[in-house]
Each structure stands twice: as C-alpha cells, then as structure tokens.
Amino acid sequence: MISLSSDHLPIILSIDRPNDFVCSERRTYVNIKKANWDGFRDYVNTHIGALPTPPDARIAERKFRTVLNAAAARFIPAGRIPEIRPGFPTEAARLADVRDRTRRANPEDPSIKDLNAEIKRLVNNHKRNKWWEHLKSCNLQEGVSMLWSTVKSLSNPTKYNDHTAIKFGNEIHTDSKKCAREFCRQFIVHPARSITQRSILRKAHNIRATDTPPTFTPNEVQGAIHKAKASK
C-alpha cells in the first residue's frame, strides 16, 4: 500500500485457503459410519420384493446388484471433498458455512457470536469422543505397543510444521526466516556473488595471523599439489 503518508509501507498478503484446510487424496471415499442402514434395508426389501421372478440366475444377480447399488448411492455417503478440515465434524462444517454466509452479508450480525460458540462446542466434543475411542482401543488384549506409543506421544509430542509454503520464483520456502529474507529481497537489489569466492574468503578470515609466517619448500608445495583433489 503506497497511498500513505508514512514511510513504513504495509504489505497485504493473500492466501488461497486457511491453514487448517488440507487437500485430500484423489480417490473416492465411502463413509460407512454415516450410512443410513434402516433406509438401506427398507429400500432393498421393497424393491427386491417388487421384482418379477427372474428366468435365470444371471438376470437375478444383475437385478439384485442394481438394487444394491441404487440403495448404496442413496443411503451411504460417498465421494470426495477436495479440501477438508482435520478434526472438524460435519455439523460444525455446516454451521461454519452458515456463519461465513452471515458474516459476508452482515459482519455485525449478533448471531455470529452464537454460531462460533456452537462450532467450538461441536469441535471440542468431536475431539473428546475421538480421544475416548483411541483410549478404548489401547487395551492389553491386543498388545501394549499402541499404549506405549500413546504415552510416548503425550510426554514428547510430535512437532508438525504448519507453515504455509510460499513460492518465490522457482523456489518454495516454508521456514519463517527464509520467507522473511525472500520478502526483503523483493525490495532490495542483491548483486550476484560467487559461492566459491565467498567460501574462500570465509576460510581466509578464520585463519589466525602469526608474527612469523610459515615457510614452505618447493618439495612440500609439489607434494601438496599432487595430494590435492580436482575441485574448485
């Protein structure tokens, strides 16, 4: 933003999606846990009972498979969501869509606060239920490896890098220091430097100075050249 009186110009960044979204794999998911098995059973019983008597087993199998596929498509959720939120239940996602539409229409709507509180409650309950299910699976009958892994993760949790990758030219950086350095270089011209020359100068600066410099004989110099490898 350059239309300001101050010399400190702010930079506005736009990110495609929030950090809590992740891209799902390119495959179809079938959610058995959210299936409506009562509706599935009634649909199959009704449509199979209405079928006429098939003339042979091949036609009967084809009709039976057609009814099962139609019932599965209607009562078993399946498909793929390109961007998902880990640890975000379906009810909370629906309320989040309602909140976003309400905020877009009227940012000062008082119902936004209630929607945020309800979303937070649903997310916390979902995480609590997932944790209880995990603890129930850590029983001694199936071994102690999962139990010890859980105890180890609590005492020394794994650190995940949740930084958003930013592309500068042909390079992609996620480290905060490297991203800050690349942002600064967008406004400052840096001359090209030789990596080899910088390495030699750095090593030369680290050499300690002495009052009496060492002397080398021609034979020692010739031997050092023969032992040196072909490098820059």
Task: Please tell me whether residues 22 and 81 are part of one structural domain.
Answer: yes
Task: Please tell me whether residues 109 and 171 are part of one structural domain.
Answer: no
Cα separation, 83 vs 100, in Å, equals 16
Q: Take residue 43 and report the two structure tokens written for it.
A: 């649909």
Domain count of the fold of the chain: 3
Cα separation, 89 vs 119, in Å, equals 9
Helices (H) and strands (E) in the chain, counts: 8, 6
pLDDT at 229: 80
- Tens of pLDDT, residues 134-150: 888 887 777 778 888 88
Whether 151 is covered by a domain: the verdict is yes
**By CB neighbour count within 10 A (0-12 exposed, 13-18 middle, 19+ buried), where does 190 fall?**
exposed
Whether 214 is covered by a domain: the verdict is no
Please give the average per-residue pLDDT across 170-189, as a whole number.
82
Cα separation, 145 vs 124, in Å, equals 27
Q: Which of 85, 109, 130 is the last residue of a domain?
A: 85
The domain containing residue 179 runs over which residues? 161-205
Whether 165 is covered by a domain: the verdict is yes
Whether 46 is covered by a domain: the verdict is yes
Q: What is the percent of the chain with per-residue pLDDT over 90, rounded to a whole number?
A: 20
- Tens of pLDDT, residues 55-82: 888 989 999 999 999 999 999 998 887 7
Which residues pair with residue 173 across a beta bridge?
166
